[in-house]
Amino acid sequence: MDDSDFRILRCLKTDARMSYQKIGEQIGMSISSVGRRIRTMEERGVIEGYSVRINEEKIGFGFPVFVFVRLDKQLASNFSLFEAKLKTFPEVVECWLMTGMQDYLLKLSTKDVRAFERFLTEELTAIESVSSVDTSIPLRCVKQSEHRSKF
């Protein structure tokens, strides 16, 4: 990875649909060089994929909730069961295995408080190994960034 690769990544982070031509114009590189470098970064796993950021509120899911989950026993089988079950819930936007007092941090997106209550009482707490949950409702997002490094 050199400075040109990082400049290409900055362009793609700004707009993943940016054409090779536009990237080349912005960083002073030929279209073929840009394409070759992007393919190399994809093959090496530097670029893992491309995605779309969706405004959940505009499609009717404007009630975000953060939920800490603790399992009754920290056994591999409980983790596997819990994680497999979570993958079936469309309300779960993100799931993080955590250190500390809680086992998981979930980010949920639901239609409203009633939809969240239904999910909490009928789905999440119905999972066999869940021993406790602690929920927080965010008031507003202060910063949201896709940046994971200096570039």
56-80: pLDDT as tens digits:
888 888 899 999 999 998 889 999 9
CB 120 within 8 A of CB 135: yes
Give the amino acid at 100. Answer: G
What residue type is assigned to position 114 of the chain? R
As a whole number, mean pLDDT of residues 98-116 equals 95
Residue pair 31/24 in contact by the 8 Å Cβ criterion: yes
Q: Kindly tell me the burial class for residue 91, based on how many C-beta atoms sit within 10 Å of its own C-beta (0-12, 13-18, 19 or more).
A: buried
Summarize pLDDT for 4-59 with one digit per residue, the tens: 999 999 999 989 999 999 999 999 999 999 999 999 999 999 999 998 888 888 88
Q: What global pTM score does this model have? A: 0.73
Q: For residue 137, what are its two tokens?
A: 């409702």
Question: Strand, helix or coil at 143?
Answer: coil
pLDDT band per the 50, 70, 90 thresholds, residue 143:
confident
